[in-house]
């Protein structure tokens, strides 16, 4: 009987100790970010979908269409074709497509690129209604922020 009441007291004390914790949290500053209304800056190493980097002087893609990224992509979602046109010093890509529905954002493509022509964008929160919206043509939408077909959810 005595144990019953002592248990009751220690139990009640433990609950009060818990309430003190939550009450302190009530008075401490808010840490939650109200996401669609306020946004945090994207992290430095964030991996979004791949984008092509342009040459500074000519404004044409740095890509030499060697196809390393296409071969090593674990999801096989990159298609690259290129040709050397008359008057060019090297090959330029004619087709550069990324199937974003399959991309796992692993970063292998930009890592293996011998001329550092691929980078990550910092676009996030992409959503769409059809699969076709995520067939990105990186050449058509240079420098990579795709404007056609879809808008990021976060863009309001």
What residues make contact with another protein under the rule CB under 8 A? 7, 10-12, 14-15, 17-18, 20-22, 25, 31, 43-47, 72-74, 104-108, 111, 120
Least Cβ distance, residue 148 to another protein (angstroms): 27
Minimal distance, residue 108 CB to another protein, in Å: 7
Report in angstroms how near the CB of residue 149 gets to another protein at its nearest.
25
- Dihedral sign computed on CA atoms, order 78, 136, 101, 116: positive
**Cβ distance to another protein smaller for residue 31 or 155:** 31
Instruction: Select 68 or 97, whichever has its Cβ closest to another protein.
Output: 68
> What dihedral do alpha carbons 138, 140, 146, 151 form, nearest 10°?
-140
Closest distance of CB 88 from another protein, Å = 27
Asked if 67 and 154 count as a contact pair (C-beta separation under 8 A), the reply is no
CB 75, min distance to another protein, A: 8
> HSE-up of 61 (CA within 13 Å, CB side)?
25
Rounded to an integer, what distance in angstroms lies between the CA atom of residue 80 and that of residue 138? Answer: 10
Nearer to another protein, 18 or 149 (CB): 18
Closer residue to another protein (CB): 43 or 87: 43
Helix (H) or strand (E) holding 96: strand 92-99
CA distance 47 to 123: 9
* Nearest to another protein of 124, 139 (CB atom): 124
């Amino acid at each position: 009987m005595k144990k019953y009441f002592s248990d009751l007291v220690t139990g009640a004390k433990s609950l009060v100790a818990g309430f003190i914790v939550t009450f302190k949290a009530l008075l401490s500053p808010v840490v939650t970010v109200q996401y669609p209304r306020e946004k945090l800056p994207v992290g430095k190493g964030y991996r979004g979908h791949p984008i092509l980097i342009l040459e500074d002087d000519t404004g044409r893609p740095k890509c030499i269409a060697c196809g390393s990224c296409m071969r090593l992509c674990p999801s096989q979602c990159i298609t690259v074709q290129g040709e050397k046109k008359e008057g060019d010093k090297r090959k330029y890509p004619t087709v550069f497509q990324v199937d974003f529905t399959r991309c796992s954002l692993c970063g292998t493509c930009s890592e293996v690129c011998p001329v550092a022509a691929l980078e990550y964008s910092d676009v996030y929160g992409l959503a769409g209604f059809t699969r076709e919206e995520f067939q990105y043509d990186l050449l058509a939408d240079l420098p990579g922020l795709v404007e056609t077909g879809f808008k990021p959810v976060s863009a309001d």
